[in-house]
Amino acid sequence: MHRYKILIEYDGTGFVGWQRQDNGFGVQQAIEEAVEKFSGESVKVFGAGRTDSGVHALGQVAHFDLDREHSADAVRKALNFHLKPAAIAVLEASSVDDDFDARLSATGRSYVYRITNRRSPLTLERGFSWWVPVPLDAEAMNTAAKGLIGKHDFTTFRASYCQATSPIKTLDSLDVARNGEVIEFHVRARSFLHHQVRNFVGTLKLVGEGKWTADDVTAALAQKKRAAAGPTAPAEGLYLVEVIY
């Protein structure tokens, strides 16, 4: 048995998310079908993170096993050929030891969320950023974000149907910065609850609008109730940027 690790980029628009599902086409299914087309082997592809429908990836990582050995470059080329015309690209492929697991071996995950903060609607960035036409104070959002860093019970920021066994996570960093009309949220942790990043963004947007203060955010965290936080930000602004091993 030969195990392969792949680094993947994809446009989440039009997919039901990473995971293979009965209600639509998932990124996992597209890659599994591409593997079978080039190798003749039916495999399961294991991803480092289950991105939701509409969420993009610049650095998703996955692994799969094949009976027959192939060169890493042949795997990359063959997958990219058979993935066409899906908006998925295998950036790198490598042969790894049998004990490597794309999800379990990861020590950290990094996401970026993008808001385009301008009066005019989006054209080229439509589907790749959250358009917010009202003025936002990025510095105030960044200050409020610092109260979320560290080990906490993040029940307030998890989806009601989150399947994680515990709401306790350690948030390593959360930085908010403006570059022109674009505001980016850079978030890093070992792992995340379902919708955790998008719920952070939806809540911090209230701070940016002047409706909430930093104290309101920390108070919401302490309540450990999803209803205490702000709305869930749209999927299209979120990118899985890097998986750390």
Residue numbers annotated as active site: 52
Measure the CA–CA gap between 130 and 115, rounded to whole angstroms: 5
Question: Which residues have CB under 8 Å from 74's CB, separation 6+?
Answer: none
How many whole angstroms separate alpha carbon 12 and alpha carbon 7? 15
Query: Are 175 and 113 a contacting pair, CB within 8 Å?
Result: no
Distances (CA, A) of 53 to 18, 20, 41, 45, 137: 7, 11, 27, 18, 29
Which residues are 176's β-sheet partners? 185
Cα 170 from Cα 109, distance rounded (Å): 12
Q: Residue 39's CB: how many other CB atoms inside 10 A? A: 18
Give Dmax (Cα) for the chain: 59
Residue 115 Cα distances to 1, 47, 134, 136, 173, angstroms: 44, 26, 11, 10, 18
Pairing of strands 56-66, 238-244: parallel
